[in-house]
Structure 1
């Protein structure tokens, strides 16, 4: 473990590894540290939308991805309908028209190695437990490591800049004062793997009408993402708020959901690697940055409230933060850059409006009666569902000027103006 570095990145998921790769490519001395020993698993749907593919392409990983599995879009099931919705091909957009799905055990390890190949140094099996402050700056991070004799040791690593990318729970973020607010919508999700004869299906499937064993409609959805490996990622999730908590047992629901699909998706055997997680969404966290530190990805609540997707935001925020640090000089002291004000403002500018309207819509969807009333109407319209895929899949970029993008931005501006607590505040 080095004792000092320019950029210290805590957490080697997509956000952290992406930040480390870009920081190293910009010439900054970079250390990437994770508490786990890689390869390690992560509770996730494993889906990669075109926006995530776009970020991975920037890292030079397109050929690697195309050697896994490629999908055309979303097969939406619900209310007696099945719609095939291709990833949109928007004139002028630089997003690709294909997606993928890669188990996080494989994706995260490959991203970590990409960061190393880019010039970052990587250490795993070291847990960040505290920080050493110098005024309003983080001078060093304290890690707990296991010595050769099995004894726990504490090691300090000094840094100029700290990138906190330690996931949805963000233990280091909590040390720094990060707070998750559950008054807006959050997710409760379960994930598993199961063998399937349709593992090479070129469509990801989402069941928008999710019911329990008694036939009661739930405020959530289920998914089946083919992995091209003989298995699919199968999961179920529900939306909740502090006022309307999700009153479900995720793993039993996921098993029941799998049984309802066993014949249709040619599932073989039992579910394996069942796991569940809570997901802060839509920037529902405060204190995302300090003088020389910032939260990225899941740690900053950068998860789409409408579909639970966070890999694209993780990769984007990691890259943008690394570019921001590099823009202030490789050899400079970094004193002139105050992330405490710069980073929250940048997050709100990039995601505030879209997160605001998305979590407002998702909050409405926490009422099952709304789902059963509006679901059949939406599923009867290819146009409405195509728009929903565009908006739910985070497929509106700053460059888009079409009607769907204008409507989304219009709704976002009006939504954020009504927020009692805007994203990232």
Structure 2
């Protein structure tokens, strides 16, 4: 019997989350022979807040998925709670869509993988990438394990999209630097009568059972399925680690919100994860390979979002593959060009926010100003696009330029 697995391909993508599936879909659309491999059998879960901000919506529109998305929940913006205030902050629109959504990753990732397959990529699941075979400075093949079986797939180009831990990235020399801010987060699903709420909610005054103010926030994202995604996240650095028990904190947060959000029952599928953020990794590319999405620490240091960056970097790397670019040179520079300044200033601000006294001092006056919080939503939510030329966008880019020159270790280095 012939083995249905391919032995070689133009482009091999390891990891079928948003970054990997986007890379595979765009690569196949560019006419490249593409194979997409994941260690899980789909559909599979992924620890995530499930929120899709306007930047992610824009990328999903590019993939032709707007009608599919609109069949799910659609939200208008952020409802921010904290320090005795509640503010409704609509998505600002501008060069990006003026709406958001939320889709459980079990469904979203499966649909994105199917989109890549429909574009022409061949998908293999249940196979873990464990090693590479090199030819000089290039990856000649990736070694996979499926059960007790070992096999290789040779490739001209390799895209590594295997998540925050990036085991294949580590084989290739990827290193995570924890001197800048990183995230500790947990999520769960809870039945709620407000599952169709047109606002996503964030509680910016996160306290533990002792009443201690923490450097983080809680969220409730309606899914339109009878449930909400409920979670908590905290910021940390190597000097100021987040000494919290995520799952007990999440249960306490749920009890605090139970009446307001009409929650019922306990937490379903609680899970937690560490998040490298803001390009805090080195070794993101080599002669014929590149890291994308979470594997390249493309996670927003101010809100923990990574889906939008995953979709974007998947598209961008496919464009470079189609051009035949020297990835070891082009890819780190492209990441720095697109995200370096924003990640630098966001890391700096998030690092300041790891000091609870700063949160306590700045939180109350900030929450009393719709203007300040609207500005914060735009900056924190990664809603400044390259096409934006208004004052808020110019200030953000100005701050980023001045921040990155002061970095001891700039993003992606």
The two structures have a TM-score, normalised by structure 1, of 0.96
Whether 1:257 aligns to 2:253 is yes
**Matched residue, 2:15:** 11
Map 1:215-294 to 2 at 5 A. Answer: 215-294=211-290
**Matched residue, 1:319:** 315
Whether 1:135 aligns to 2:139 is no
**Matched residue, 1:333:** none
Distance in 1 (alpha carbons) for counterparts of 2:323 and 2:131: 28
Aligned residue among 47, 71, 75 for 1:71: 75
**Matched residue, 2:408:** 420
Deviation at 1:89, TM superposition (A): 2.7
Distance in 2 (alpha carbons) for counterparts of 1:43 and 1:398: 29
**Matched residue, 1:169:** 165
**Matched residue, 1:106:** 107
Distance in 2 (alpha carbons) for counterparts of 1:65 and 1:243: 41
**Matched residue, 1:376:** 364
Deviation at 1:339, TM superposition (A): 1.0
Distance in 2 (alpha carbons) for counterparts of 1:172 and 1:325: 19
Q: After superposition, give the CA deviation of every residue in 1:21-72 in whole Å (9 maximum; x if it has no partner).
A: 0000000000000000000000000000000000000000000000000000
Whether 1:186 aligns to 2:182 is yes
SS at structure 2 position matched to 1:418: coil
**Matched residue, 2:125:** 124
Deviates further, 217-226 or 337-346: 337-346
Distance in 1 (alpha carbons) for counterparts of 2:392 and 2:347: 18
Structure 2 runs not aligned, ≥5 long: none
Distance in 2 (alpha carbons) for counterparts of 1:226 and 1:321: 32
**Matched residue, 1:308:** 304
The two structures have a TM-score, normalised by structure 2, of 0.99
Deviation at 1:368, TM superposition (A): 0.5
**Matched residue, 1:366:** 354
**Matched residue, 1:208:** 204
**Matched residue, 2:87:** 83
Deviation at 1:327, TM superposition (A): 1.8
SS at structure 2 position matched to 1:294: strand
SS at structure 1 position matched to 2:205: coil
**Matched residue, 2:24:** 20
Which stretches of structure 1, 4 residues or longer, exceed 2 Å deviation after superposition? Answer: none
Structure 1 runs not aligned, ≥5 long: 147-151, 329-336
Aligned residues: 409
Q: CA RMSD in A?
A: 0.5
Distance in 1 (alpha carbons) for counterparts of 2:408 and 2:341: 14
Distance in 2 (alpha carbons) for counterparts of 1:314 and 1:420: 26
